[in-house]
Amino acid sequence: MDSLLTEDQLMLRDMVRKFAKERIEPEAGDNERNHRFPQEIINEAAEMGLMGIAYPEEFGGAGMDYLSYMIAVEEVSRACASTGVIISAHSSLACDPIFRFGTEHQKQKYLPSMLSGERIGAFSLSESNAGSDAGATQTTAKKVGDKWILNGSKLWATNGKQAGIFVLIASTEPELKTRGVSAFIVDANTPGYSVGKVERKLGIKATSTTEIILDNVELSEDALLGEVNKGFKIAMVTLDGGRLGIASQALGIARASIEDSIKYAKERKQFGQSISKFQAIQWMIADMWCQYESAWLLTWRASKMKNEGLDYSREAAMAKLMASEAAMFCANKCIQIHGGNGYTEDFNAERYYRDAKITEIYEGTSEIQRLVISRSLLKD
C-alpha cells in the first residue's frame, strides 16, 4: 500500500509511527485503565502539528492533505485508540465545521488556538432522546434581541471535560424538526455552560465522554455557525469527515491486533512448535490482514475523494462500516490467538477488543452506515 502514498505522506507516517511507538504506546495501557487523559502527549502531538494536519498554514495548520490526517490518526490509534479519537474528534468534528462553514472572522477567532492544540475542540450533537435520530434535539436556542439563549443538556461529548470550544447543535424552530436546528460555536468559559456527568465506559477510557449542561447560556449573534436552521446539514457534512477519522482509528486498532498476533504466534510454543505453524492460526492471520487492507483501501479512496472535493458521503460510510467491523474482527481473533493470556490485562489484546467496539457505535452506528449506503444506492 506504500505505493499509494506520496513521499510527504510516507515521511509523515514514519514520523508519527516513531512518536507513537516511543511516546504513546508505553503509557497507553496505564492511561486507559486509569481513565487518565494523556494531556502531555496531546501537547507533544500539538507541537508536531498533529492537532491541525489538514488545515491551511494561514490559520496555523500543517497545510497537509486529508490522507495525511487519516494516516496520522491510524498510526496514533495503533498505539492508543483513546489518543486517536481525541485528535479525531478535535480535528474532524470541531475544527472542520468551523473551517468549512465559519465566517472569516470566526475562522480567525477560533482556528489558530485550536489548530495549535492550545484549545481542544468537541462536537455536541447527541442528547438522551436524540442519538441516531439526531434531528430530535431538544436543546433550544432562542433569539432574544441580538443574543442567542441556549438551554438544555447534551450527552456523550468526546473531549467534553478538556474542550475549550464546542460546535453544538440546538433547535431554533422545534416544529420544523431537522429543518429547524442550527449550529453554534460555544466557548466553554461562557456563564451557564457546565460539564455534567462524565461517563464510565467499556473502552477508550483515556478520553472523556461527558454531558454538557446549558443553563441560559447567552451567546452573541456571531456564535451562530453557518445559516440559521441549516445546522442539520452542517452536522451531517461534519459527520462524513468524522467517519473517516473513526475509520482510521479502527484501522489502527486492527493493525495493532494483527501485529501483536503475529509476534505472539511466533513466540508461543505448544505441542513442541510455535503456534504460527498451525494452519488454524495462519488462516486467522490471513483473514485479519484481508479485512484490514480492504478497509484501508476504502478509507484511502474516501479520503482522496474528500481531498478532491467530491461527494464522498457513501464512501465515508462504507469505509467506517468496514473498518469498524475489521477492528472488531481482528481484536477478537487477537484474543483468540493469545489464548488465556489474551483475556488478561498483561497483554494489549483485551484493550484492543474493548476499544474496537466503540467504532461500531459513535459517529453513526453500523446500522446507520448501512442506511446511508443503501439509501444512496436505492434513490431514484
Residues labelled as active-site residues:
363
- Is residue 374 part of the contact set for ligand FAD (CB under 6 A)? no
Q: How far is the CB of 125 from ligand FAD (least distance, A)?
A: 3
How many other C-beta atoms are found inside a 10 Å radius of the C-beta of residue 343? 14
With respect to ligand FAD, which residue has the nearer C-beta, 45 or 157? 157
Q: Which residues contact 238 (CB under 8 A, 6 or more apart)?
A: 92, 93, 96, 97, 100, 123, 167
Which of these segments, 54-62, 156-164, 190-198, 316-324, binds ligand FAD (CB under 6 A)? 156-164
Candidate list 209, 249, 324, 332; residue touching ligand FAD; CB under 6 A: 209
Nearest to 253 by CA among 342, 315, 328, 364: 328
Binding mask of the shown chain, residues 61 to 90, with x at each position contacting ligand FAD by CB under 6 A: ----------------------------x-
Candidate list 66, 156, 264, 329; residue touching ligand FAD; CB under 6 A: 156
Candidate list 51, 317, 358, 372; residue touching ligand FAD; CB under 6 A: 358
d(CA 346, CA 348): 7
- Is residue 365 part of the contact set for ligand FAD (CB under 6 A)? yes
Candidate list 50, 157, 281, 337; residue touching ligand FAD; CB under 6 A: 157
With respect to ligand FAD, which residue has the nearer C-beta, 234 or 265? 234
Q: Which residue has the cell 485503565?
A: 33
Q: Is 285 in contact with 326 (CB distance < 8 Å)?
A: no
* Alpha helices in the chain, H assignment, sequence order: 7-19, 25-33, 39-47, 66-79, 81-88, 96-101, 104-115, 231-267, 279-307, 313-338, 349-358, 366-378
With respect to ligand FAD, which residue has the nearer C-beta, 23 or 154? 154
d(CA 33, CA 376): 40
Contacts with ligand FAD: how many residues (CB under 6 A)? 21
d(CA 3, CA 1): 5
With respect to ligand FAD, which residue has the nearer C-beta, 132 or 344? 132
123: its cell numbers? 462536537
Q: How far is the CB of 140 from ligand FAD (least distance, A)?
A: 17
Q: How far is the CB of 160 from ligand FAD (least distance, A)?
A: 7
Q: Which residue has the cell 468551523?
A: 98
Q: Which residues bind ligand FAD (CB under 6 A)?
A: 89, 123-126, 131-132, 156-158, 201, 209, 358, 361-365, 367-368, 371
